[in-house]
Amino acid sequence: MTDIGQDRILVVDDGAENREILVDLLGSEGYTVDTAVDGAEAVEKALASPPDLILMDVSMPRLTGFEACRRLKADERTHLVPIVLVTGLVAREDRIQGIAAGCDDFLTKPVDSEQLIARTRNLLRTKSLVDELEQAENVLVSLANALDAKDNYTRGHSERVARYAEALGAEMGLGRIECRNLRRAGLLHDIGKIGTNLEYLHKPGPLTTTEYEEVKKHPVVGFEICRPLRTMAPLLALIRGHHERLDGRGYPDALRADAVPVPLRCLTIADVYDAITSDRSYRKALPRDRAFKIMSEEASTGMWDARLVDLFFDKVQHLD
């Protein structure tokens, strides 16, 4: 957990007196405090240098606290920063609007100093734990990238799959969080190959049955590597299932039809496309039009979702 002196809090209020009260209370506890005079300045400052906590008034000129909260929670840089709405509004509708905007807590004006400090400590403690989990996830992503980089044939593969999958999910109308999870899963989908014999991965010819069965273990190995991290929970089915097929002939669980959800279909198509259009130890990369023909033919046999294959080649494959 971070030391109090390292925790940065952004206080947002159009009233100078209100700002001074909060700055004095928090400063006396050893926190580093910055201020903004309205929601627009708060968004600008928070995106430029994300704080550890934001205490924000609701009724302000230029941009209300509700809208500022909504924008910050929608941005990748600040979506995990706790936001407390400090307001004199007590109507049920106002609280509902704040919750809908994504705020983490409320404080009622005039602020009770003991309640302020208690809430601040609790939210910063939670933020610290989230940061530690994110750091652990970043270590795994670095390992996955290092694994890709060890092989000239797979260098950049996971990053491309992440980009394709996220874009295809967006085209399918998946929500922001689902698309973000697709990107995260794309970065980590092959992490299980850390446990695979590199000779098998680099073999220039066909794998033997024994070798292929060994390579097929990597989705489950990746699943087990990521399972202990709570932040990975939304990614586990994607990592485990990225070699599943609609016809039930994929692995490791032989999922079939509706048992393969749309996000997993997006990830699978992204992975297959990049594999076909990249050089591999056993063959040269194929051009896009050939990849489309192959994947369309496979979709016609029930292997992939034909609608998603068409959408991918219409809207997404240009990203490479």
The CATH number linked to 115 is 3.40.50.2300
Rounded to 5°, angle at Cα 253 from 249 and 255: 60
Count of beta carbons in the 10 Å neighbourhood of residue 283:
11
Alpha helical stretches, state H, the chain? 16-27, 39-48, 65-74, 92-101, 113-149, 157-171, 176-188, 198-201, 209-215, 218-226, 236-241, 262-276, 288-300, 306-311
Task: For residue 92, give both structure tokens.
Answer: 């049920």
| pLDDT of 90 | 65
Last residue of a domain, one of 130, 158, 193: 130
Q: Check residue 247 and report its DSSP letter.
A: B
Q: Say if residue 45 is in the same domain as residue 170.
A: no
Q: Say if residue 124 is in the same domain as residue 227.
A: no
In a domain, 142, yes or no: no
In a domain, 143, yes or no: no
Q: Say if residue 125 is in the same domain as residue 272.
A: no
The full length of the chain comes to 320
Closest CA to 68 of 32, 102, 108: 102
In a domain, 137, yes or no: no
Q: Say if residue 169 is in the same domain as residue 283.
A: yes
Q: Check residue 255 and report its DSSP letter.
A: -
In a domain, 291, yes or no: yes
Residue the block writes with tokens 């992975």 = 271
In a domain, 57, yes or no: yes
Q: Say if residue 181 is in the same domain as residue 72.
A: no
Could you tell me which residues come within 8 angstroms of residue 68 by beta carbon, excluding any fewer than 6 positions away? 12, 39, 40, 42, 43, 56
Q: Say if residue 104 is in the same domain as residue 163.
A: no
| pLDDT of 61 | 86
Sort 147 into a burial class: Cβ within 10 Å, 0-12 / 13-18 / 19+: buried
| pLDDT of 246 | 97
Q: Say if residue 192 is in the same domain as residue 104.
A: no
Could you tell me which residues come within 8 angstroms of residue 139 by beta carbon, excluding any fewer than 6 positions away? none
In a domain, 63, yes or no: yes
Going from the C-alpha of 109 to that of each of 56, 89, 90, 92, 315, the distances in angstroms are 11, 8, 10, 16, 50
For each of the chain's 320 residues, which pLDDT tens digit applies? 444 457 999 999 999 999 999 999 999 999 999 999 999 999 999 999 999 999 999 888 889 989 999 999 988 888 889 999 888 766 678 778 888 888 888 888 888 888 889 989 988 988 887 777 677 777 777 777 777 766 666 778 999 999 999 999 999 999 988 999 999 999 999 999 988 888 888 888 899 999 999 999 999 999 998 888 878 899 999 999 999 999 999 999 999 999 999 999 999 999 999 999 998 877 899 999 999 999 999 999 999 999 999 999 998 877 66
Alpha helical stretches, state H, 152-216? 157-171, 176-188, 198-201, 209-215
| pLDDT of 268 | 98
Contact 193, 180 (CB under 8 A): no
| pLDDT of 172 | 96
* Single pTM value for the model: 0.66
Q: Say if residue 187 is in the same domain as residue 281.
A: yes
Q: Say if residue 253 is in the same domain as residue 195.
A: yes
Please, what is the angle between helix 16-27 and helix 113-149, to 10°? 70
Cα separation, 32 vs 9, whole angstroms: 6
Last residue of a domain, one of 67, 97, 130: 130
Task: For residue 144, give both structure tokens.
Answer: 């996955």
Closest CA to 84 of 61, 47, 109, 63: 109
| pLDDT of 228 | 82
Instruction: Reduce the DSSP state of residue 142 to 3 states and report it.
Output: helix
**CATH (domain of 249):** 1.10.3210.10
| pLDDT of 2 | 46
Task: For residue 48, give both structure tokens.
Answer: 């430029």
Q: Say if residue 59 is in the same domain as residue 123.
A: yes
| Distance of alpha carbon 96 from the chain centroid | 26
Domain count for the chain, please give it: 2
Catalytic residue among 193, 216, 284, 315: 193
Last residue of a domain, one of 101, 130, 159: 130
In a domain, 300, yes or no: yes
What is the extent of the structural domain holding 307? 150-319
Task: For residue 294, give both structure tokens.
Answer: 């192959």
| pLDDT of 151 | 65
In a domain, 145, yes or no: no
Active site includes 127?
no
Q: Say if residue 43 is in the same domain as residue 105.
A: yes
Q: Say if residue 170 is in the same domain as residue 117.
A: no
